[in-house]
A and B are shown apart, each in its own frame.
Chain A
């Protein structure tokens, strides 16, 4: 069923009784060419395997409901404002894929390019922003350096006159923005399902079947499924799943909290991030101010955080946007981030043949969803890394080819 205004009209007139399932709900087959574990980035990977590489005998296994992992548990920001040459082209690819998302998938995920501004507060931060902005422009992305005057006009609600860390300017990426996160997984699921990819929900992987150094299938809560190739795309559960193959990863799982206020009339056009505290914010199309900050800082799989991190984020909010004081926090939640040792992701083959790994997204995985799926599909289908993901290797820590945007070192809770 193709979605369109006309369809809505005809359905509306006939009592909305003719809508079809958004994706098929098949029983798992006994064998697939490719099994993708995890329906976040994995759902995108499943779609691109079918759409770009004509690999259609694919199952995407999800332990809960579609979108129950970090895809449905983030602050929905998209951007390609990275500094390092290993990262920037990859995230720019992702942003370009976002820009085509709706037309390609016939599903409106509300890719909304209302811009993202990273504020800076010191000369050193400005220098770093200039270097970053130049990297963005050189990679074909967009970037604008805003001085304080221009910023005042764009964001009059920021605290310019009374702040502990005065705002000196900002690095603006007009093409950055937000996407309706749940709709991303639904859109990929729908499009992939149409191409023959099976999405199997409530199917937790309990074992990886490895014979003579090759991965040949998976054990699941719904039985054993054979596979030619297996790709693990399970974000916060990376260590747990890869342990099934006896592999240890340069990854720790941390809790990141995020927050949303009650619905408010629009007061914030794009995304703003605060360079002197832990705080970033945007406003959803429903009106909620969606914001977050830093990790709680300790390893956790509990999907919930504690008060100090919450208070720290709200202090950042009030420091930079004191109008927020009378907005009320409606909901807070926690996601499990697979924090890699240099803050950058891994998309690579593993030492076990036909077993591929995608993870280490830290807390930047959502924006990467399309490119991550795209490059993972490329790797699995062709056996060679995609040119824009070529440095996201598992062995880079052994080689010392670190991709450390923040320069924080092997300390995951600082990335």
Chain B
């Protein structure tokens, strides 16, 4: 800190010195400083480089609208690029680094762009870099990309965590300046549930930055007292460091609260919290932002917004220069001069563009009316300015005020258009605000402090009325302020460049050129020149640009238009939007009931939707997954295996209308299914495409249990609710998902019955005669425990599925394997399951892709013609029943050694390998230990008529081609003798 610049006073704590570094250089600031105020206190001018021309840049503003002073904050994985120095609270040990230069901030080789600027005008890149064609990716684009961006990501995973939350309130007040505080006080006293959010860490807004008073208190003291009163109200939640970034439907706002950004370390607390705020009413009190004016070389370090110069002086006790000139077209600049003079800082001149400056504050400085600045000097720090008459004024800081723009962004997030206010020379909120929203104070275009307080009180009482809450009489004190008068001056014409968008280096010349080239819509201007697309989102530059455009086209400003304001109000870290949903917690994990047992027995798990399922169980000595899978298949086919199939959807259907419901959703009839029997069912979508399949067991006259595929469990249930509620609203039927309620195991293999006989209680006879294929029963096992037994088979073996309440799942697995020891029973995973289903020729997800029909799948006989069912009509559309339709077939390589792969396309022998000639594809493929070769399922045109034909499976992506024989998909036990045995 230099005494020269730290003039004392303000809201910083001189007793708490804070050390920080900028570009490796150690510096000191005070508690309460921002990085920007601390840099200024250390006399630092040059802090950044602009995007395109790499112009030296200093600090322009004092808030979240800062376009220039962007830094990389912190280091390593904590690095935050493009951080605005003006909103970073200083903390001990803070590290900041300048960005966007080649070599160093002081000596930036890319600054050569500034010299080349005549050739880098608006849209130059659309007009060149086209020859030779190949050079774009190889030469030009890498060159352009090497200069892209400002700061850089660390490329390391973000080490911080983020949280999300929901808040509800009667009234959300956005902004804690004078208007926001009054609205919150009125509503809070009336008992409304109020949330007051402000992006600053200190409530008060401009009251903390100005020298005017409310009653007999300073503005800052009044704000402090108001905040204290609000903090004591149980019905008010104060949220400093919280930016309301977006307005969504039905009173929902998005806000991000910075929890630990102002600390040296987050200490594992969430860095930020994303809040969804549900409000009945909202009042936007977001204040206003000052804008600059476009004059030659108006971008040098040391040229700042007048309000910012005032803020640094009043709030932080920092002088932005020793010899300051003010350049203004309204009364605001004069306040800066008056405040600086009061603090003993020399004001070289107040240059006002207007002839009449009545009602401006008194200043001692030289006053130049109808003044124009025609150029500025000093490459890395402002040294002087030149006036129209040629006079050159040596100054080290120029405080510019081009007028104020209400921060009305949130009012426009539902695409309502702001209105032009000629008196204020700016846009104010339009008539059609989002439902429930009001605007108060400077955000509504009320710029006089006394008026702001009154306006806020009026808005607050209207809102309370709407909320049916009582009146509160707030005794408002008088507040002195300078009346706001403005005669806008947008642009001082010059042959030199005058910046409108500082960060993206858009100058008035670019706007002129853009206009000449026909880019006359405001959106064209923006997109052609990149104006307003920088990190400040055009907060400072958009309105001057529209005004200059209007001037060029001869249209009025409102006829020229506005740009659309979209969320977020200020940029928000992606991490905050994601919250805890990252890494393994990205999505919930569903574990099967036997997960623990499986883990203890070497299971390798695989993600199946949200589920983790055992893929195979590796035994000691097995080094390749195929060894495990082949063993599991063989053991199951030769003796018995057990597989957890809990993930299949289970839907319990009860009521007199159950059969009607089933008959609607399944293509095949269920009316004649006897109690104690299971039937396989096929489901179509209403568009006639195959959708899902599974078995449904009739446990009682009016009680069924349906199974669905794992993937479609939720979707089928939803569809059945649709049928029940929307198509059969009077049907007496209820359904409930019991997928998680029952653990279910497939027990498959020739010894499955013998194994189960050891588990099932003796009252139940499960002999083939009493419990044949497709039988089902509610039984007891292990001495009285409830269970359901279904004799169904996916593997083609004699098999059962046994279901027990989910809490017994793990011990059921244990019990089954233990009971099966004498048969060398094995657990098997999804791989072995898949191998056996391909051997047996069952279609599954790879075949039922949502694109295939019952005909394609070889299941057209399952479409009943005697009843309605979903998809019954549209399944008969001409193209879907075409003779040339795809048919499901089995595929074997002609040479047993050849490897088949799913995804290969099937072509006739001898034809060109083109997509036109492709007749089908291999959908599933496994190595079959039973047959000792690869087996595939696939689709090919007229497949069912082509058994025995040879085709070529071409797989250009693997550069392979295999000759295959088309055959029946039912490789294993095609007559089904084993499963019925």
- Could you say which residues of chain B place their CB within 8 Å of the CB of A65? 521, 523-524
- Is A310's CB under 8 angstroms from B577's CB? yes
CA gap between A351 and B296 in the complex, in Å: 61
- Could you say which residues of chain B place their CB within 8 Å of the CB of A122? 606-608
Segment 753-779 of B: residues with Cβ below 8 Å from A: none
User: Is A143 close to B, CB under 8 A?
Assistant: yes
- Is B956's CB under 8 angstroms from A20's CB? no
- Is B687's CB under 8 angstroms from A409's CB? yes
- Could you say which residues of chain A place their CB within 8 Å of the CB of B81? 262, 264-265, 326-327
A-binding segment of B31-39, B137-145, B805-813: B137-145
Question: Nearest Cβ distance between residue A371 and chain B, in whole angstroms?
Answer: 16
- Is A331's CB under 8 angstroms from B537's CB? yes
- Is A106's CB under 8 angstroms from B130's CB? yes
B-binding segment of A40-48, A210-218, A378-386, A393-401: A393-401
- Is B127's CB under 8 angstroms from A137's CB? no
Nearest B residue to A319 by beta-carbon distance?
B586
Contact pick for B578, options A128, A265, A318, CB 8 Å:
A318
Question: Nearest Cβ distance between residue B166 and chain A, in whole angstroms?
Answer: 11
Question: Nearest Cβ distance between residue A6 and chain B, in whole angstroms?
Answer: 9
User: Is A139 close to B, CB under 8 A?
Assistant: yes
- Could you say which residues of chain B place their CB within 8 Å of the CB of A134? 903-905, 921, 954-957
- Is B918's CB under 8 angstroms from A85's CB? yes
- Is B118's CB under 8 angstroms from A22's CB? no
User: Is B447 close to A, CB under 8 A?
Assistant: no
- Could you say which residues of chain B place their CB within 8 Å of the CB of A113? 137
Question: Nearest Cβ distance between residue A324 and chain B, in whole angstroms?
Answer: 5
User: Is B133 close to A, CB under 8 A?
Assistant: yes
* Chain A positions 259 through 292: 1 when the CB is less than 8 Å from some CB of chain B, otherwise 0: 0011111110000000011000001111110000
- Is A186's CB under 8 angstroms from B148's CB? no
Q: How many A-B residue pairs have CB under 8 A?
A: 374
Contact pick for B689, options A5, A114, A401, A409, CB 8 Å:
A409
Segment 59-83 of B: residues with Cβ below 8 Å from A: 78-82
Contact pick for A307, options B118, B276, B574, CB 8 Å:
B276
- Is B903's CB under 8 angstroms from A285's CB? no
Nearest A residue to B565 by beta-carbon distance?
A331
- Is B915's CB under 8 angstroms from A127's CB? no
- Is B583's CB under 8 angstroms from A164's CB? yes
Nearest A residue to B119 by beta-carbon distance?
A12
Choose among B80, B537, B582 the residue with the greatest number of A CB atoms under 10 Å from its CB.
B582
B-binding segment of A28-36, A233-241, A298-306, A359-367: A298-306
A-binding segment of B206-214, B438-446, B474-482, B843-851: B843-851
User: Is B913 close to A, CB under 8 A?
Assistant: yes
- Is B126's CB under 8 angstroms from A121's CB? no
CA gap between A100 and B849 in the complex, in Å: 36
User: Is B150 close to A, CB under 8 A?
Assistant: yes
Contact pick for A22, options B137, B519, B923, CB 8 Å:
B519
CA gap between A406 and B130 in the complex, in Å: 37
User: Is B216 close to A, CB under 8 A?
Assistant: no
Contact pick for A108, options B125, B152, B155, B568, CB 8 Å:
B125
User: Is B878 close to A, CB under 8 A?
Assistant: yes
Nearest B residue to A131 by beta-carbon distance?
B903
A-binding segment of B9-17, B510-518, B861-869, B889-897: B510-518
Nearest A residue to B132 by beta-carbon distance?
A103
CA gap between A324 and B136 in the complex, in Å: 28
- Is A400's CB under 8 angstroms from B915's CB? no
Segment 183-222 of A: residues with Cβ below 8 Å from B: 183, 186-187, 201
- Given A138-B915, A315-B578, A399-B877, answer yes or no on A304-B585 (Cβ-Cβ < 8 Å): no
CA gap between A331 and B905 in the complex, in Å: 43
- Is B118's CB under 8 angstroms from A16's CB? yes
User: Is A246 close to B, CB under 8 A?
Assistant: no
Nearest B residue to A277 by beta-carbon distance?
B586
Contact pick for B956, options A138, A396, A404, CB 8 Å:
A138
- Is B82's CB under 8 angstroms from A318's CB? no
Question: Nearest Cβ distance between residue B920 and chain A, in whole angstroms?
Answer: 10
Nearest B residue to A2 by beta-carbon distance?
B127
- Could you say which residues of chain A place their CB within 8 Å of the CB of B555? none
For chain B, the count of residues having a C-beta within 8 Å of the partner chain is: 123
Question: Nearest Cβ distance between residue A163 and chain B, in whole angstroms?
Answer: 7
- Could you say which residues of chain A place their CB within 8 Å of the CB of B573? 325-329
CA gap between A99 and B905 in the complex, in Å: 28
Question: Nearest Cβ distance between residue B610 and chain A, in whole angstroms?
Answer: 9
- Is B915's CB under 8 angstroms from A407's CB? no
CA gap between A30 and B816 in the complex, in Å: 84
CA gap between A328 and B521 in the complex, in Å: 28
- Could you say which residues of chain B place their CB within 8 Å of the CB of A306? 248-249, 252
Choose among A21, A114, A124 the residue with the greatest number of B CB atoms under 10 Å from its CB.
A124
- Is B957's CB under 8 angstroms from A311's CB? no
Contact pick for A135, options B154, B527, B583, B915, CB 8 Å:
B915
- Is A318's CB under 8 angstroms from B913's CB? no
- Is A164's CB under 8 angstroms from B585's CB? yes
CA gap between A168 and B917 in the complex, in Å: 30
User: Is B581 close to A, CB under 8 A?
Assistant: yes
Measuring CB to CB, which residues of chain A are less than 8 angstroms from any residue of chain B?
3-5, 7-9, 11-13, 15-17, 19-23, 25, 64-68, 72, 85, 88-89, 99, 102-103, 106-114, 121-122, 124, 126-135, 137-140, 143-145, 156-157, 159, 162-166, 180, 182-183, 186-187, 201, 261-267, 276-277, 283-288, 302-304, 306-307, 310-311, 313-319, 322-333, 396, 398-402, 404, 406-410
Measuring CB to CB, which residues of chain B are less than 8 angstroms from any residue of chain A?
51, 78-82, 118-119, 121, 124-131, 133, 136-137, 141, 144-146, 148-158, 160, 162, 164, 246, 248-249, 252, 254, 274, 276, 413-415, 495, 509, 513, 516-519, 521, 523-524, 527-528, 530, 533-535, 537, 566-568, 571-575, 577-579, 581-587, 589, 606-608, 685-689, 691, 845-846, 849-851, 874, 877-880, 901-905, 913-918, 921, 923-925, 954-958
7 interchain residue pairs of minimum CB distance = A407-B850, A325-B158, A130-B903, A287-B149, A400-B877, A325-B575, A314-B577
**What are 13 of the A-B contact pairs (CB < 8 Å)?**
A4-B128, A130-B901, A164-B587, A165-B586, A180-B126, A265-B153, A277-B587, A311-B578, A319-B582, A322-B158, A329-B568, A400-B878, A400-B880
